[in-house]
Structure 1
C-alpha cells in the first residue's frame, strides 16, 4: 500500500523534508491501545510506542500521537517500531475530556470531512447537532449530516427533519439512508473521495458500526442493539480505528459519545451560529452579550420571531461552556506554574544544604 492511499500528500512530504526525517519510516496511526499504536506504512503495519523523550517533554495529551496522525518511526524486525516524531496536523477534532476539567481529549486528527450521524427514529437532536457542527467548524473540518434508520419512519418525518429551519440555515449537506435497505447508500458513497479522510461522529446505537461494515464490505465492527430500558444505544466500538475503503476513501470510526463538551471553539461557535453573528453586527454595543442589553439586535430578532428561541438558547449554553473551559484552562496553568516554581525552590534549597 502506498502512503498516498492513506492520505499522504505534498504538504506532509514538505513537512517531512523540513524536519529532516529522511532516516525514518513514515506511517499513519491506525489505532491506539493503551499508549501502544498500530502504524500503517508502505512496508505493512507496525506495533509501536513513543520514545521516552516524547513522553517526558509532552505538556498535555495533545502532544501524544492520535488516530489519524502521520508519524516518523524507526522500525525493528518485521512489525515493531518506535515513534520519534508526530508531523504537524492540519485539523484536530477534540472535545473536553470526560471527568477532567480543563483537559482535552483528541478524537481524531488530519480529518477532511466528518459524518455527523443521528438516527431519525429516536436519536435526532438539533442541539447535539449544533455541538458537533461547532466542533467541526472550530477544527476546519467539513461536516456532513447523515440521518440513519429511515426505514423506521415515513417520508414525511424525514422531510420535516431536513426542512427544519434550524437545520436548513446551516447550509450543510444532509444525507438520509437506511442500513437495512441500503436506501441512500449510492449518494453517500459518491461523496466519499479517494485519499480524503472521513470521521464518523454520533451516539451509540445510531448505526455507525453497521454503516462502516457495509461501506467496507467486511465485518470490521460488532453491531449492537438499543437498550429497551433506557432507549439508548449500547457501546460497541471501544476504540478509534482508521479503515481504507474499497473506493479509496479513508474512514475513522469512533466510540459513541454521550458527552460532547466543547473546548477552544470561539470560531466554531461563530460559524455554527452565523445568523446570530450577523445580527450582532447591528447591536448598539460592540461587547453586547445578547442577554439584557438595550439596543440588542439579537433580542429584537427573538421578539419579532425572526430567530429560533431554541437555537438562541443553545448558543448561550455553548458560550457559557466555552467561557468555563477557558477559565478552567487558565486556572490549571496557574496551578501548574505555581507547582513548577515550588519544585525549583525545593531543588535550590536542597542543593544549598549539600554545602
Structure 2
C-alpha cells in the first residue's frame, strides 16, 4: 500500500528514534479531532498547521447528533461549543417543491444527544484548536507548513516543516484538506472521482423568524435547487443556496442580491429573508471535484477532505471527518500507529463510514429533484 515518493525524499537511518507517536498535519476539524482521540489513548501527538487557526474556512456548518456532536461530547468538547450560543436543533422542516409550510420533523440522525448543531467555522475552528492544543499529550505549532515527508524504505517516518525542522513518528496523518500535501507526496491514488456539479453560496443573518418561535433547521428543495437555514452561534443564522454550477453568480455579481433572488424562489424563505438583517458578505463555494483517495499506507493515513471530499450540498463533511477520526483511533489502538495492519484496518473502516454518504451525495448532486420523489 505504499505510495510514490517526493523527489526531495530524505534518507533516514534505521536507528533514528521517533520524536512523537503521531504527527498530525492540519489542525482544523479533522486534525483536531484525530489529535484529541489519539492523545486520549496516551499517545504523544504533534499537530502542525500552516497557519495560526484564528478564522474559519469555506464549509457547510450543519452537523448531526450521531456525527460530530457525539464526538465532541465523547471528547469533553461539547460544552465549549455550546457556549458559543449555538442552539440545539431538535427539529427540522422540509419544504418540498415550493411549499410555503411544512410540518415539524425530528432532527436528522440525532443520536444520544437528541439534536444537531450549526456553528460558524470562524467560531468552531479556533475553539477546537485552542481546546485540543491544551490537552495533555498534544503539542501544537501553527505557521509550520509541512514541505516534505521523511521515508525509511517504503514507510513514512516523519515530516520536515518549512523551518527545516524534522519531526519523526511511526505515523503521519494528513488532515490537511483537499490540497493535501501528505496525499500528494505519498501519491495516494484516487479510487473514485466525479466532476463537481454544484455551486453553493451562503451568508449570515440576524433576526430570522422561526416558524414555531424556536430555532430549527430548515430545508427547501425546488427542482434542482436547495436552500437552507441553520440557526447558528452568536445569534446568527446561516442562510444558503446550492444550485447547478452553471447557475452560479459571476465573480462581479452582488452576492447578497443573488442569494435573495434564490430565496425568493423558495416561498418558505423569501419573505423572511427580506425581514432579516444581513451580517457580512456572501461566501462562495464553487464546484469542486468529488473524490475518494486511498486512505492509508505504511506510516501514513488521511482523514477528512485529505482523503475523501464530497459536494457540500448534503452537509456530511464534518460528520464524516469525525467518524474517520474515530475509525483511525480504533485501528491504532489495536495495531499501533503506522503498521500495515493499522493501514488495512483503517482503510476498511474509513470506507464503511464514508462511502454510503459520499455515493448518495455524488449521485444526487446532478439533480436534487430526486429528493422530492
TM-score range, shorter chain: under 0.3
Which structure has the highest helix share of the two? 1
TM-score by length of structure 1 reads 0.25
From the CA coordinates, give the structure whose radius of gyration is larger. Answer: 1
TM-score by length of structure 2 reads 0.24
Q: Which has the higher contact order (CA 8 A, sep 6+)?
A: 2
